[in-house]
Structure 1
Amino acid sequence: MTPLLMAARQGYLGTVSKILSLCPDCCEKVDNEGLNLLHYLAFRGFSNPLRPSLFKPGGIEIVYGSVKNLMELEDAFGMTPQEVYNALRSRKYHHKQKKIIDLLEKIGNDQVAEEPVRRFPLPNDSTESLEKKREAHLVVAALIATVTFAAAITVPGGLRTEKGPEQSTPKKGSDQGTPFLIQEVAFKAFVITNVIAFIFSVSALTTHFGVLDNLLARFSFWRLTVSDRIRSVSGVLGYATLAMVIAFSTGSYVVLKSSPQLNIVSYLICPGFLLSMWLILNATIYE
């Protein structure tokens, strides 16, 4: 196996691009199974979205001219890179998935210098696996919904109260019960992002409980399987988590304005979270 194929096998796009820029013609090499550069990129492409510039639903968009020759090149199992990518990305059963999984299991135990190489993540849609993911989603969604609901009731900074027997019944137009910090921009951002997180988490719960099935079953476009629910809810919970982090950051910021040091820390919570997530998600891609 050539260094280019090994870099593609590991999913290291930075290394792949560097090698191709120095030696474009080396991409024509294949391994013992007839797998070329694009086959290995397709194998990695189904588990994380790092190949949108290479693989398209209607074909492959290639940057380097020499790589175009690999588009229709079949491996030992008679599959082109695009067919591999489409089969692994398909949300429905694909007749070539079994062949691909068998091949990945076969080459998954390769070693280089007696060191194991990175294994291929295999699609796992078994009933047990889906049920575990569903349970995890329900727990996360319930926690986010609970936290955001509590935050909406006990708002940062507290509420206005008017004491006195004559104020036992609030007058019309009274400010009683109004948040002290309602005019602050950061407080408004807290309210909006907190509501977004709550809505997304409740949407995840209703999706898993099948509430939307009863409402949208009459429409032909609504044909969600359990696997489809898992994928869609994963994205929804991701947005809910991001909104919750922003709400926490803005809520902390608005109540800590009197302390410059703590205020800066609360201000950096959200950017720090986004940066750390970006670094984690890209750590295994560009090496």
Structure 2
Amino acid sequence: MGPSLNDIVISSGEPEKPAENITCMDASLYKAAAVGKIEEFNNYQGPELESLKTPNHDNVLHVNLSTPERIWQRTRFDFVLQILDKCPSLLLQTNAKGQIPLHVAARYGYSTIVRHLIMFCARVIYKDLEKLGMDQLNAVRGMIRHTDQESNTALHIATRYGHVEVVQALLEHEDPDFPYFANINHETPLYLAARRGSRRLLSILLDKSKSTAHGGPHGRTALHATAMVRDPWVTRIILEKKGNLTKETDENGHTPLHYAAHLGHDAVVEELLKWDISVAYIGDKKWGMTPLLMAARQGLFGTVRKILSYCPDCCERVDKRGWNLLHFMAFRDLSRGFRILLKNDNATTTEYGSVRNLRDWKDASGITPQQVFNACQYDKEEKKEQIVKLLKEIVNEEVAEKPVYPIGLPNISADKNLEKARDAHLVVAALIVTVTFAAAITVPGGLQSEKGLEQGTPLLIHEAVFKAFVVTNALAFIFSVSALTTHFGVLDNQLSGFKFFRETVLYRTQSVSGILGYATLAMVVAFSTGSYVVLKPSHGLAIVSYLICPAFLLCIWEILNPLMQM
């Protein structure tokens, strides 16, 4: 007889290494399990059904329940019922992930199957599920609390995928006081429901379970999760049951209000402030930043106004660097908001009046908001390098899984490089102008010296190649002169301190690079045609002069092609 399909031993040939035992299921049985065809198993004469496993140790029930919804729900239900009657031990048999069939049914939202598995575990008919004895109840709860290799119960999985009816079925027979602890990823069912933003799931979990477990990864709570969702109603549901979570911080010292402010979820910000206004004054661990400062750092002027409307004096809180609200708003260039808050001496609202007092506040390094604004908008600022260093530090952070919005940092070295490029362009353009001007005066082939109407005209004026020389030489001259004039502006000295001027120079530098490229190409063609018209009597040298231009283009291609493929 050949080897059994149920167990295949694979050996590496090395006696010191143990052989790997891989299980597999007969193809006909696998297909029958997937589509819920019970006839195949009624006629099955092989080993016990519990020995039929896939390489991942999925049994017949795992296979059926994990198959996409291609079969009628009633067919699936009948199949599960009859298979369990044939082999009850399949109910608690685990696969390679440590999951029993209940986990798989919860994953795909089969609430009817979940109730049937509970019924079978209790050994009662459906109508008697509400009259379970203590032994039956303990058996059911043991199955419901069974965890896989990642410490997920069926409730964790059903909540993660948002299956409300499955969650209801699982909690019907659970002890309300049983604490559903976090899985290996530090996620509790309550946190998972909050992260999904599901109002129904949260209401069910909070109503039917008295468990206080609400934690999530990185020290977050369920309230942190609702702040990440943007739905104020979800936040309100948590607050009504666990209002004490407003001051709970994650591992970085961020409260739920920090999250909502950083993400710009204004409705959630308002809900949290209505519940507990004191959280607006809490700073985080690293820099002592309040939610107001985080909103300003993100450039969220609407969120800033929302927080100030509830607690105007929270703007007096500064971070550990000494930066206040206006320092952060300055580098975001919130043109309307910043100018109103910074420059308007006739502030009419209370919150603006509080902010107005911050205009002259200096940080730990003596930097004012105006200096930050100037460094980002103009070239000329004494503490520009110091400010740029601080800005790089500020934007290199992440809150609520979302990094700080990037900003266009003033680039000091780029300004110097821009000047160097400009100087190089001027030198190259001047050289090409000089060469092409000289070539136009001393044309190849010489000039007519005999007196008459054509005296002083080129001897080769009627040659087609000479005409090509004249045209390309003139083009090289025009392109170079254009490059020179482009780099000279009438108001350069007066405008050199402004950001828009720096951007204009950058644009001009990039444009001039292209113009000089055309000028160089035209100059090479002019040299090639000029050489040919002079060397035409010598066929060998004439051919060489013709090859100058293709050789130049080939060299350029070899240089640029690798760069274009990077």
Instruction: Normalising by structure 2, report the TM-score.
Output: 0.26
Q: Which has the higher contact order (CA 8 A, sep 6+)?
A: 1
- Which has the higher Rg, Structure 1 or Structure 2? 2
